[in-house]
């Protein structure tokens, strides 16, 4: 029996001048490039979930500045076609003045963060289709 589920994701767009913070992560043995964020947990609001994700992934607190985009089309998960992905993107700012990128993988997955200049980013730089839509909005 097929079980269709919604998978709600929250992502933050952190800016530093003309640069965006990207995350390179190993997910299910696949290398993915995405914005910082992840899955909303049951009982969380989207902003609380995003703040938790940033704290878990970067070790830093963020302030949510504004809503940027919510998925407005059907997007099956690239990992499970029976799951529909709904992603919500917010612009965020770090609570501290500067976010220094570590070259050391951390947490349960190998995570690498990097600042990428917006004008040089293309859709091919992102793994997930919804991130590609957000990049078009940001450009």
pLDDT in tens, 21-37: 999 888 777 788 999 99
- To which CATH superfamily is domain 5-138 assigned? Nucleoside Triphosphate Pyrophosphohydrolase (3.90.79.10)
CB 134 within 8 A of CB 100: no
pLDDT value, residue 105: 38
Question: What gap in Å lies between CA 42 and CA 98, rounded to an integer?
Answer: 31
Is 0.75 surpassed by the pTM of this model? yes
Name the E strands within the chain. Answer: 5-16, 19-27, 30-34, 36-39, 62-70, 83-94, 111-117
Per residue of the chain (139 residues), what is the pLDDT tens digit? Answer: 566 799 999 999 999 999 999 998 887 777 889 999 999 999 999 999 999 999 998 888 999 999 999 999 999 988 888 899 999 999 999 877 666 564 443 444 578 888 899 999 999 999 999 999 999 999 9
Residues 6+ apart with CB under 8 A from 119: 18, 139
Closest CA to 2 of 72, 73, 84: 84
């Amino acid at each position: 029996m097929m079980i269709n589920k919604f998978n709600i994701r929250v992502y933050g767009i952190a800016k530093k001048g003309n640069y965006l913070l990207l995350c390179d992560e190993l997910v299910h043995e696949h290398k993915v490039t995405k914005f910082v964020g992840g899955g909303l947990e049951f009982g969380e609001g989207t902003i609380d979930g995003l703040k938790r994700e940033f704290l878990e992934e970067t070790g830093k607190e963020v302030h949510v500045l504004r809503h940027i985009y919510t998925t407005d089309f059907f997007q099956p998960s690239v990992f499970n076609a029976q799951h529909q992905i709904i992603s919500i993107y917010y612009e965020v700012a770090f609570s501290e003045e500067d976010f220094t990128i570590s070259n050391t993988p951390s947490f349960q997955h190998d995570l690498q963060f990097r600042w990428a200049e917006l004008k040089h980013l293309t859709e091919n730089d992102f793994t997930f289709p919804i991130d590609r839509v957000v990049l078009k909005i940001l450009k």
